[in-house]
Structure 1
Amino acid sequence: MERLRHDDPPRLGPYLTVARLDGDGAVPERRYLGRTADGEHTVLLCAPLPEAAPAAWAIEAELASRLSVPRFLRPASRGSEAGLPWYAVPYTPVLPLPAALAAHGGPLPEDLVRRLGAALAAGLATAHARGQAHAGVTPAAVLIGAGGPLLGCFGAVRSAAPEGPPGLDPGCLAPELRAGGRPEPLGDVFALGAVLAYAASGHTVPEQSELPPGLRRLVASCLARDPADRPSAPEVLRAVSPSGLQQTQAAAVTVLDEQDPLPLPGRVVAALAAQSAELLASELPAARPARPARPAPEKVH
């Protein structure tokens, strides 16, 4: 949690912005913690960066709201405030992956990295089977909570301005995307490899020696320059699952969803608890009247 800055919106739709989820760093969108004026509902709010293309971002948010993919952050309501599109999801305590590493005091244990990779690969495998690339996988897009990881920042590359995707860690951008290609599933796999490298070493482009030996071959294959040399998301899932678990994609997703929550390190659990307590104890800013021309937020069913 970070204090709001002078250029942050005081409200988005019916929600008063209370704090930023993120500090400084490579984040493809703005994320806030917000509450209704009566204090009854607390949400995670997402909005585009100033340098992003807001219309394209809104299209991606609409698509994300209609997807039902395990581990993908799904908007529950959407709207626009003074031309700024936004979406909201119910709040649960979460830390962006960089904040989780900071709370832990360094890279995460290999077993936790594998579990994290399995959960994210399962979600990506489902999306890819439907012909949809996430196009926004980056360390800050991964939100760590007691219930397991969630993947936000959907469509960050597709909604980028002509100058390129703002806020995306360059180490997560596949060579074909840097050359102007369109997002494809194997570009997500490249980014997933960079995320696993970051979780295990603190860097999206680490030296091999910085990675645990058990992850070196997998990360190197995900980060192959030629997409044809990368594994698919289901292959990544099999590689990080215990004992090379051999399951069909659908069965793998089911088994992963039924597993116990991630065994988070104590300091990460403490940081999640502190965030929740700080948010609940924070005073709501004075509510500003809603603009009469603003449409009501669209509910997603």
Structure 2
Amino acid sequence: MTTPAQSPFQPLKAEDPPVVGGYRLAAVLGAGGMGKVYLSYTPGGRPLALKVIRPEFSEDPDFRRRFEQEVHAAQRVQGLYTAPVIDCDTQANPPWLATAYVPGPSLAHAVAQHGALPVRSTLLLAVGVAEALQVIHGAGIVHRDLKPGNVLLASDGPRVIDFGIARAADATSLTSSGVTVGTPAFMAPEQAMSGVVSPATDIFALGQIMAFAAIGAPAYGDGPSHAVLYRIVHEDPDLSRLPDTLRPLVSACLSRDPADRPSSAEVIERCHEVASSPLRQGEDWLPQSFATALVDRSEMPAPVQTPPPTSGAATPPPVAGAVPYPPTQAAGTPPPGAGHVSHAPTQASATPPPVAGAVPHPPTTAAPHTGPSPYAPTAFSQTPPPVPHGMHPQHAQHPQYRTPVVGHHGPMGAPHPGVGPRPWGAVPPPPKKRTGLIVALSVIGGLFVLGVIGALLPDGGSGDSSSSTSSGTSGSAGSAKGGGQKRPDPKPASYKNINLTGDYYLQLADNPPKPIDGGDTGAMYAGGDFYFSFDSTGISDPKVGTDNGKLVLLNNAEKGSLKTCRDETRFTDKINLDQLSNGSQICVRSDAGHIGVVTYRGRSGANSPSTYITLDLTVWRNAEEATEQD
């Protein structure tokens, strides 16, 4: 039996901000364990799903660090079956991210409304989600919270959302105080027991999703979380209601041993093998009852005029009667309320209503003010000048762009007699200058400067360096042709016998470099200069790499040096461990401008309780200009 359809667009409430990061919010899409999701639009009218993180998470510094890493990693995921990250501000309070809006219900909502999917639709769902996982895992991300609520049903196939974001909440103070990361009914056994995840963890969740779509209920039943988790870890799922066509594949995905589960590519292949007709995504991939839900969702709230996006947190609405201040780099612009900006009335003239999104201009009437004005500051006002529309605040400080005001107001607001229009911020003219004294001081200063220059030049001004003891180092590293200075080579710093554990990374700027936890297997090493990736499941080969620069594996005949690393251009970002032997050297050039030479010394033995590599490291810090990255 279906339940009454509920609109996915709920009106904003008093506690919801009207604007987040410059995006005007149009409706509430939902709320989850980590935040609340709103509908918004780009300035061009494209809909966005904007997630604002819950305050209790955003106040945790470890969460913020992991959230920034995961969002930046997620920005690199651009698949046909994912909702890409469009914008974000991980430093805002609270942090937020915006993804493409998918005009379709979640699998959880659709099944609750319309029941189970037919076999063909379930197979098309599985191949779409599996292809999304290929892209997500290829970016080094494990979803961790793949469930029916994170799979959206669009008219041309499924979309996977929220990939990798759940990792940001792991290992924070919140996870030990009752906040659950992941959904118990769709967790893999290894995730439920020890929190260890890998790409195979997401395959287990994919099997759960297939079963849920085909039978309309979780494979391990409902009930309290601890009871469901116990069944996942210790019991077999109930697949008796599953169609025979799907049962072998779903059963393989739900294997308790991660090594026995198929890869995402194998899932796709097996779906095609059991399908009665070729699997092609299209407008008819869902039954008619589900397609009706897609049409209903096209009736979206009309977009409100959105100001250009800015990197900032949710900004409060303007206070009634408050004077709007021009934007600065330190604070964001208050959002206009319903397309209007509040202005304080002036005594001189009425101000016409401002254009939505425009920066207000001061009045330019000819009549002098008889009292304090919200636009023309008094002699004691510290308010910065209004910025002309479309102009950068720094440019507006140039005298030729300052807006004139009529008269200069004294303490009581009365204009000074005999004073005409003066640029904003002008002060009364100083007392008459002592011209003769200034000229004399200028002459003395000029003679002094000429004397200093003459003392620095070679004797006689002939340019013969042999006659000057202070200029005989023209060939040193600190000088260049034409007398210009170049950056001297930094001194190297060397470190021996560094043990870099699997899924840890190093930063060349650290002194001494200490291994930093990059997360569980398959996690990204956002900003890491040199990492060691080891997948305990064996799905991917051990490798070293960089997420913040370039690597060059040197030939045996080459010796690692600053010059060698500067000259080499055979760049890569990862190297398989089987390409290295004792003594192999790798140049590391970080985007921050540091250069290092890693000398590989071997890896841990088979009986070692942990997996690590040993290396020597030589670093030249600030050896070149930093490179700006997207």
Equivalence for 1:140: 149
Match 1:30 to one of 24, 33, 36: 36
Equivalence for 1:87: 97
Match 1:288 to one of 317, 334, 355: 317
Q: Distance in 2 between matches of 1:278 and 1:66?
A: 29
Equivalence for 2:243: 212
Equivalence for 1:252: none
Query: 5+ unaligned residues in a row in structure 1: which ranges?
Result: 246-254
Equivalence for 2:49: 44
Deviations 1:230-268 (A, max 9, x none): 1111111112125479xxxxxxxxx97x74345222232
Which secondary structure state, in structure 2, belongs to the residue aligned with residue 158 of structure 1? helix
Q: Distance in 2 between matches of 1:48 and 1:262?
A: 36
Correspondence 1:108 to 2:123: no
Larger Rg over CA atoms: 2
Correspondence 1:223 to 2:261: no
How do 1:223-262 and structure 2 match up within 5 A?
223-243=254-274, 259-261=281-283
Deviations 1:129-157 (A, max 9, x none): 55442333111110111121111111144
Equivalence for 2:20: 12
Of structures 1 and 2, the one scoring higher in RCO (CA 8 A, sep 6+) is: 1
**CA RMSD in angstroms, aligned pairs only:** 3.3
Q: Any conservation in 1 of the 2:77–2:139 contact (CA below 8 Å)?
A: no
Question: Number of residues paired by the alignment?
Answer: 281
Return closer, same or farther for 1:114/1:242 CA change in 2, 3 Å cut-off: same
Which secondary structure state, in structure 1, belongs to the residue aligned with residue 30 of structure 2? coil
- 1:20 shift after superposition: 2.5
Return closer, same or farther for 1:12/1:240 CA change in 2, 3 Å cut-off: same
- 1:27 shift after superposition: 6.2
Q: Distance in 1 between matches of 2:34 and 2:25?
A: 19
Which secondary structure state, in structure 2, belongs to the residue aligned with residue 121 of structure 1? helix
How do 1:102-181 and structure 2 match up within 5 A?
102-103=112-113, 105-129=114-138, 131-161=140-170, 162=172, 163=175, 166=180, 168-181=182-195
Q: Any conservation in 1 of the 2:87–2:99 contact (CA below 8 Å)?
A: yes
How do 1:265-276 and structure 2 match up within 5 A?
265-276=287-298
Query: 5+ unaligned residues in a row in structure 2: which ranges?
Result: 1-7, 58-62, 221-237, 307-315, 319-326, 334-628
Which secondary structure state, in structure 2, belongs to the residue aligned with residue 69 of structure 1? coil
Which secondary structure state, in structure 1, belongs to the residue aligned with residue 52 of structure 2? strand
Please report the TM-score for the alignment, with normalisation by the length of structure 1: 0.79
Equivalence for 2:210: 196
Q: Distance in 2 between matches of 1:123 and 1:41?
A: 22
Q: Distance in 1 between matches of 2:33 and 2:299?
A: 24
Q: Distance in 2 between matches of 1:116 and 1:176?
A: 25
Q: Distance in 2 between matches of 1:42 and 1:146?
A: 16
Q: Percent of pairs identical after alignment? A: 31
Q: Any conservation in 2 of the 1:174–1:191 contact (CA below 8 Å)?
A: yes
Match 1:21 to one of 29, 32, 55: 29
Q: Any conservation in 2 of the 1:71–1:149 contact (CA below 8 Å)?
A: yes
Equivalence for 1:75: 85
